[in-house]
Structure 1
Amino acid sequence: MVNESTRLSAQDWARAALKAIADGGLAAVAVEPLARTLGVTKGSFYAHYRNRDELITAALTEWARSHGEAALTELAALTDPARRLRELLTVVVQAVQPLAPSVHLSLLGDRNDPRVRDAVHEVNRARLDLLTRTYQELGLPPDRAASRARVAYAAILGLLHLAQTDPDGPDSAALAEEATAVFLPS
């Protein structure tokens, strides 16, 4: 817990809001409970944001930045598409933890909010673009590469969903091997 003398940044508040979103969607973002969680007063919040909507917008912007194109830069730079796909699948699948809340999945309940729709679209587009490009570099024609990318990405989101509900799921390293075997064209 942060003590009162510690000054929180706007990003600290946005990250706390993202944790709340992962646990309960946009409805879980409330200033007083976040302040209690952070160990500060509401005054700290108002030093950075005028209202809850600004905080939600900042949190969604941070999530889109940290889970979209910027997060994929290092993987995108790999020149061997087979290695890129293998590492991408391994990183994503190994990040899936049993019973762990997911911002992405929690946002689906708020998909009619334009801010949510835009953030999810940005993250999905970055991930699908990288997967599609990778499959094209592996020799699939553009239409087939786009389809394969969608199926692979749907499987990844499905693994996130299963992890939220199944505490006894398989080991993430084993899942990463299976995902690579299934989604890496031979």
Structure 2
Amino acid sequence: MAVVSESTRLSAQDWARAALKAIADGGVAAVAVEPLARTLGVTKGSFYAHYRNRDELIAAALAEWVRGHGEGGLTAFAAIADPAQRLRELLTAVVQAVQPLAPSVHLSLLGERNDPRVRNAVSRVNSARLEILVRTYRELGLSPSRAESRARVAYAAILGLSHLAQTDPDGPDSAVLADEAAAIFLPA
């Protein structure tokens, strides 16, 4: 993350994004005001201009993640009228976003699932992602129950690819994975 000069005024969203990076790197426990201020190149007074305490920052970070990775992050895909194209583009975007050894907010949060705030955020993101997958499979002609199960398997594969990318720097090229995902998860 780029260092910000003291004269630059950070927004609450800047702090929330920095907290998300900390969560990706080390879970909710990694969200601490002083280290984040050092990373951002400001004093912790900048933090208190936006938040009363760490819990408010964590809530804001989780809300930011839900906005960007839940329903709000899926808007462009939801607008694609052709369900086969929508699914192909969804799978391609997800697979290409997976970077070897890159930390993941979603995977880090899974270790914190007993925290009600985290459980709620993960549930909301999962629901939005599953909803678009189920809708897409329904539009591709699958029955409701088959669309639901196919969506869950596809989503599990997506999360699995994220997990593998965190531990396997020598995995296949993302374009190859995107082609494989489309071949497997697009109905024949």
**TM > 0.5:** yes
Deviation string, structure 1 residues 6-37 (Cα, Å, up to 9, x no partner): 10000000000000000000000000000000
Find 2:26's aligned residue among 24, 27, 37: 24
Q: Secondary structure at the match of 2:102?
A: coil
User: TM-score, normalized by length of structure 1?
Assistant: 0.99
Aligned partner of 2:187 in structure 1 is 185
Aligned partner of 1:40 in structure 2 is 42
For residues 150 and 182 of structure 1, the distance between their equivalents in structure 2, rounded to whole angstroms, comes to 14
Aligned partner of 2:101 in structure 1 is 99
Unpaired stretches in structure 2, ≥5 consecutive residues: none
Aligned partner of 1:140 in structure 2 is 142
Deviation string, structure 1 residues 76-101 (Cα, Å, up to 9, x no partner): 11111000000000000000000000
Residue 99 of structure 2 is aligned to residue 90 of structure 1: no
For residues 87 and 72 of structure 2, the distance between their equivalents in structure 1, rounded to whole angstroms, comes to 17
RMSD: 0.4
Unpaired stretches in structure 1, ≥5 consecutive residues: none
Superposition pairs of residues 1-186 of structure 1, within 5 angstroms: 1-186=3-188
User: TM-score, normalized by length of structure 2?
Assistant: 0.98
How many residues get paired? 186
For residues 34 and 177 of structure 2, the distance between their equivalents in structure 1, rounded to whole angstroms, comes to 40
* Counterpart residue type for residue 153 of structure 1: Y
* Counterpart residue type for residue 48 of structure 1: H
Would you identify which runs of 4 or more consecutive aligned residues in structure 1 move more than 3 Å?
Answer: none
- Post-superposition offset of 1:54: 0.2
Deviation string, structure 1 residues 114-137 (Cα, Å, up to 9, x no partner): 110110000000000000000010
* Counterpart residue type for residue 179 of structure 1: A
For residues 9 and 157 of structure 2, the distance between their equivalents in structure 1, rounded to whole angstroms, comes to 41
